[in-house]
């Protein structure tokens, strides 16, 4: 599809205008669709919303794209052009004739080459009034994004993005050199954790909306879904922004000021209305605005007109929204009545439209100004700029992960699967999710802009903050008029849509791009050209669009940034800093497993892991595939990426080695006489190492809240998975929790205890850390055990932790002095516990310290016994030695998690000590499970002992 084609290339073949709808909406999914390839050799039933791969799978032309090596064998689908065609007779036959009407077609999302991220609304009245022959079809033509991208990138006027040993200005994963030219999901073209299907289709709902000046009237509509229309007026958008009087992206909110409730409409109308009004009300607060003057609505059916109103509410009236770990995520129902022609009598006119939006009141700030001299002197903070968030005027610790797309094919994402992932985040103590800029703009809910499932609305409900990003990732962006105009509409629509959600904390311009352009600037002969383009796009153009659409949330240029020199005007810092000062935020990659727990190399980041044995069973088709380095398993390891269409990934051995070397260095190397057990233990061991490493790193960052860096956030890569393959996820594609998910439930607890071991000088520091706003008092217990489970020595220490700070529990230098007297480091380990009262609740947490790698520890057979009780409770007992990292797996086809029935908290992956039994309960997520009533005998227990023993 070429950008110069009419209507952005959505080819609309003629519609017979035998009759028209009057003030009604027709759902295009009700039509009978046909999918056809370019030469007509494939013609199968289609559907809407859908994508070509899914309809081909449904028709039996291809197998499940996620199965086996189908990512490779089904590449031919990507290379073809596809059309969706449907007979419009059900539309023309059903609706009443009205020659004065206007007809609009609304696409909430078309996955093709133009712009997948925006809504398109077209006036198609002229197509209806001038039919061509007897053709009564609607056809949507979709060009191959891969071939289109190749054509564009080879144009003589296409900008060149070089790759050198120092910098790659256009990061390629699988389908190379095309994604920067197409406003499409970046990871559709491949990423280092996912497949490359480059899908196409109408992936969100679409509608025909008819407007009429006819005297035939319909009752006032109470709209709970989309599209929103009355007899002669169509509301394409209703945007809501709640902020403090005087607040904007560069002016901090006055916490005592009135709330401003701004409601803005994007209106299409076939009539002029001189005196429309808007009435706002919040029933829970018994508040009503009275009629607010909107301003005249012109006759503009084929164009957009934006009109808005403001309503002032005293600060003290609404309860504020907080993330779940800091308060109550309080929500209210805002009722909005737009009356285009208010009458003198009681009640709204017949043309009025009433909507209800669920929202909340909060302020969110991204603090980026320099620390004051007083803070530097009194708190010992390293000079530089702040870079952390404040909710309702108070700084807090951001604890969370990163979200990627939930499936390679958006149209089949299950709402219940998304809810499970978000609820799992809450269960593991998270309060923030970063919506990664290489994926999709996550939807509000199924009733807004064709969302298909809920994301931001769920974040509002559950009390999870959402760090939002514009969809640019790991490449510099070309500057041309066509892309800029499309991006302006895309960004404006999405910022306005997300404004209503109190969970949203910011808009970042993209992912990991600032570092790329800084490297280009100093290493390329024409580096200033790319820097200038970056400044134009990410400092100026995108910033100005975002801040023009919202007063309530901040903008930053990139997910990782060195911050700003100024907020007004917005000027990026880049390398303009003072040596020794700290600016902005950071991320780190380090796949050298030997440095995994060397704190002097921190911050390190992001070791990847295998899916579980159970997830592999979903996609492996042959027995010989069940091996760590089998060809099929390795074909699903995209790290490091191939950078081109080579298959299988020639760099997969490097990624596999990173996992195997980490396991071999820090855990007993899996190897038994049972090949399936060995494969399962390898998969689990990579997950265990990932969790051990990430938990240690998170603890290091949390420790920084009380030190000079004043670290107030850690967001782990990544929470969810897009398929069954090697990745950094904490939750597998099926919804199964990996070890890391349970690890985060421990290290993201409000109060934690952790060891910090520096092998260089053999020093050990143990800290209790709190992320609470109030001082926390409690008790820490340190107990040395041998691997047989015998207690060697124990000590108890009271502590008091100030706001967002640490308390020193233990400090020692010299391994001989730290170890219990007379014991070898291979024979002992340390259990650390904390108990404290937080928010009038008892909080406990534990962690472990082993003086040497578990690969060299003298483990003892734990002889774990499992007794199944009622309601899927299991009591685990170590009858021999200590069960290092004891783990319980639920069977294939089940989804859920294990919790401690006493605390109600997630519990799995721990040191099981003889004489101290553990009871856990499996809580099933039945709507996601294919096995509703699993046999308790099918639950499998494992520990490190099973790496080398049956």
Rounded Cα distance, 615 and 733, in Å: 8
DSSP SS3 for 761: coil
The neighbouring-strand residues paired with 237 are 266
The neighbouring-strand residues paired with 164 are none
Asked if 337 contacts 352 with a C-beta cutoff of 8 angstroms, the reply is yes
CB 401 within 8 A of CB 728: no
- Which residue's entry shows tokens 């997520």? 925
- In angstroms, the CA 870 to CA 297 distance is 65
Q: Is there a contact between 429 and 744 (Cβ–Cβ < 8 Å)?
A: yes
d(C-alpha 591, C-alpha 210), whole Å: 57
How far apart are the C-alpha atoms of 862 and 881, rounded to whole Å? 4
Q: Are 386 and 564 in contact (CB under 8 A)?
A: no
Alpha helices in 630-759 (DSSP H): 631-635, 652-666, 675-703, 739-747
Residue entry with tokens 């970046």: 186
Sort 858 into a burial class: Cβ within 10 Å, 0-12 / 13-18 / 19+.
middle
Query: Residue 598, Cβ neighbours under 10 Å: how many?
Result: 15
260 CB-near residues (< 8 Å, 6+ apart): 242, 243, 244, 245, 247, 310, 311, 312, 551
**Using DSSP, how many helices (H) and how many strands (E) does the chain show?**
19, 43
Candidates 446, 453, 338, 405; CA nearest to 186 is 405
CB 914 within 8 A of CB 880: yes
Measured CA to CA, the distance from residue 326 to residue 397 in angstroms comes to: 10
Take residue 687 and report the two structure tokens written for it: 């997950």
Beta strand pairing status for 305-313 and 259-269? antiparallel
Residue 143 known to be catalytic: no
Burial group, residue 391, by CB count within 10 angstroms (0-12, 13-18, 19+): buried
Q: How far apart are CA 537 and CA 476, in angstroms?
A: 10
What 8-state DSSP symbol labels residue 402?
A: E
Contacts of 130 (CB under 8 A, 6+ apart): 14
Across the chain, which distance is largest between two alpha carbons, in Å?
97
Instruction: Report the alpha-carbon distance of residue 403 to residue 387 in Å, rounded.
Output: 21
Marked catalytic residue, from 170, 512, 697, 732: 512
Strands (E), 815-931: 828-838, 841-849, 864-868, 873-878, 883-889, 896-899, 910-912, 918-924
Provide the strand spans (E) within 471-552. 504-508
CA–CA dist 705, 769 (Å, integer): 9
Burial of 139 (0-12, 13-18, 19+ CB in 10 A): middle
Question: How big is the CA angle at 725 (ends 611 and 456), to the nearest 5 degrees?
Answer: 90
Asked if 112 contacts 200 with a C-beta cutoff of 8 angstroms, the reply is yes
Instruction: Please state, in angstroms and rounded to a whole number, the distance separating the CA atoms of residues 693 and 690.
Output: 5
Nearest to 695 by CA among 605, 783, 762, 622: 605
Q: Are 458 and 422 in contact (CB under 8 A)?
A: yes
Write out the two tokens for 376: 């530097």
Which residues are the active-site residues?
A: 512
């Amino acid at each position: 599809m070429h950008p110069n084609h009419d209507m952005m290339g959505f080819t609309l073949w003629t519609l017979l205008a035998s009759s028209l709808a009057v003030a009604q909406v027709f759902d295009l999914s009700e039509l009978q669709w046909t999918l056809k390839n370019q030469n007509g050799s494939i013609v199968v039933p289609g559907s809407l919303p859908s994508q070509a791969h899914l309809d081909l799978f449904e028709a039996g032309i291809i197998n499940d794209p996620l199965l086996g090596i189908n990512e490779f064998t089904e590449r031919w689908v990507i290379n073809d052009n596809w059309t969706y065609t449907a007979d419009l007779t059900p539309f023309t036959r059903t609706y009443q004739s009205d020659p004065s009407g206007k007809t609009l077609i609304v696409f909430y999302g078309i996955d093709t080459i133009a712009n997948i991220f925006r809504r398109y609304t077209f006036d198609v009245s002229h197509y209806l009034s001038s039919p061509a022959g007897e053709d009564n079809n609607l056809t949507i033509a979709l060009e191959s994004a891969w071939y289109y991208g190749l054509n564009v990138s080879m144009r003589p006027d296409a900008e060149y993005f070089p790759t050198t040993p120092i910098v790659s200005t256009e990061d390629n994963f699988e389908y190379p050199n095309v994604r920067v030219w197409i406003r499409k999901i970046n990871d559709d073209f491949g990423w280092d954790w996912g497949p490359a299907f480059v899908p196409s289709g109408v992936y969100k709902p679409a509608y025909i909306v008819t407007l009429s000046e006819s005297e035939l009237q319909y009752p006032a509509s109470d709209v709970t879904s989309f599209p929103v229309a009355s007899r002669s007026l169509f509301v394409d958008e209703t945007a809501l922004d709640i902020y403090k009087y005087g607040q904007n992206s560069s002016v901090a909110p006055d916490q005592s000021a009135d709330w401003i409730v701004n409601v803005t409409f994007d209106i299409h109308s076939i009539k002029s209305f001189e005196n429309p009004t808007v009435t706002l009300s919040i029933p829970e607060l018994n508040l009503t605005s009275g009629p607010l003057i909107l301003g005249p609505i012109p006759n503009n059916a084929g164009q957009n007109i934006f009109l808005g109103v403001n309503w002032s509410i005293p600060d003290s009236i609404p309860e504020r929204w907080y993330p779940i770990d800091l308060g109550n995520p309080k929500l209210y129902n805002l009722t909005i009545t737009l009356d285009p022609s208010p009458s003198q009598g009681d009640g709204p006119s017949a043309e009025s439209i009433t909507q209800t939006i669920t929202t909340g009141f909060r302020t969110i700030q991204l603090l980026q100004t320099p620390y004051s001299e007083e803070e530097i002197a009194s708190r010992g903070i390293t000079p530089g700029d702040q870079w952390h968030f404040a909710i309702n005027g108070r700084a807090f610790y951001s604890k969370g992960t990163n979200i990627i797309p939930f499936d390679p094919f958006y149209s089949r994402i299950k709402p219940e699967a998304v809810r499970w992932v978000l609820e799992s985040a809450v269960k593991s103590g998270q309060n923030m999710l970063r919506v990664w800029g290489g994926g999709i703009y996550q939807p509000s809910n199924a009733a807004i802009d064709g969302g298909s499932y809920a994301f931001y609305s769920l974040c509002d409900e559950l009390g999870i903050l959402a760090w939002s990003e514009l969809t640019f990732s790991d490449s510099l962006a070309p500057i041309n008029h066509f892309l800029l105009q499309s991006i302006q509409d895309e960004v404006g629509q999405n910022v306005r849509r997300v404004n209503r959600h109190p969970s949203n904390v910011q808009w970042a311009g993209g992912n990991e791009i600032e570092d790329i352009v800084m490297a280009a600037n100093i290493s390329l002969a024409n580096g200033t050209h790319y820097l200038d383009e970056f400044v134009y796009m990410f400092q100026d153009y995108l910033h100005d669009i975002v801040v023009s659409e919202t007063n309530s949330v901040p903008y930053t240029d990139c997910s990782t940034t060195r911050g700003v020199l100024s907020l007004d005007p917005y000027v990026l810092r880049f390398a303009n800093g003072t040596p020794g000062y700290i600016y902005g935020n950071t991320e780190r990659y380090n796949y050298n497993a030997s440095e995994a727990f060397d704190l002097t190399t921190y911050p390190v980041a992001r070791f990847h892991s295998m899916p579980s044995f159970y997830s592999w069973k979903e996609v492996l088709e042959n027995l010989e595939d069940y091996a760590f380095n089998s060809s099929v398993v390795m074909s699903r390891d995209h790290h490091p990426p191939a950078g081109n269409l080579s298959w299988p990934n020639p760099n997969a051995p490097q990624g596999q080695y990173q996992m195997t070397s980490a396991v071999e260095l820090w855990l007993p190397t899996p190897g038994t006489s049972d090949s399936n057990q060995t494969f399962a233990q390898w998969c689990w061991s990579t997950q265990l190492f990932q969790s051990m490493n990430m938990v240690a790193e998170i603890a290091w960052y949390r420790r920084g809240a009380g030190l000079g860096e004043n670290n107030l956030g850690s967001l782990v890569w990544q929470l969810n998975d897009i398929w069954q393959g090697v990745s950094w996820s904490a939750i597998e594609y099926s919804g199964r929790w990996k070890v890391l998910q349970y690890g985060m439930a421990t290290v993201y607890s409000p109060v934690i205890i952790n060891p910090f071991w520096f092998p260089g000088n053999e020093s050990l520091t143990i800290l209790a850390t709190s992320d609470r706003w109030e001082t926390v008092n409690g008790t820490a217990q340190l107990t040395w055990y041998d691997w047989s489970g015998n207690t060697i020595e124990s000590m108890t220490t009271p502590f008091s932790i100030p706001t967002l700070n640490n308390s020193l529990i233990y400090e020692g230098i010299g391994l001989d002095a730290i170890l219990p007297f007379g014991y070898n480091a291979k024979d002992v380990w340390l259990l650390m516990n904390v108990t404290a009262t937080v928010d009038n609740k008892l909080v406990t947490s534990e962690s472990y310290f082993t003086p040497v790698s578990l690969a060299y520890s003298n483990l003892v057979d734990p002889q774990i016994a499992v007794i199944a009780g009622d309601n899927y409770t299991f009591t685990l007992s170590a009858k021999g030695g200590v069960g290092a990292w004891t783990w319980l797996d639920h069977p294939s086809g089940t989804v859920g998690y294990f919790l401690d029935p006493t605390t109600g908290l997630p519990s799995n992956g721990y040191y099981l000590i003889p004489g101290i039994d553990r009871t856990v309960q499996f809580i099933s997520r039945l709507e996601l499970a294919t096995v509703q009533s699993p046999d308790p005998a099918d639950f499998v227990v494992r520990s490190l002992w099973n790496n080398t023993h049956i």
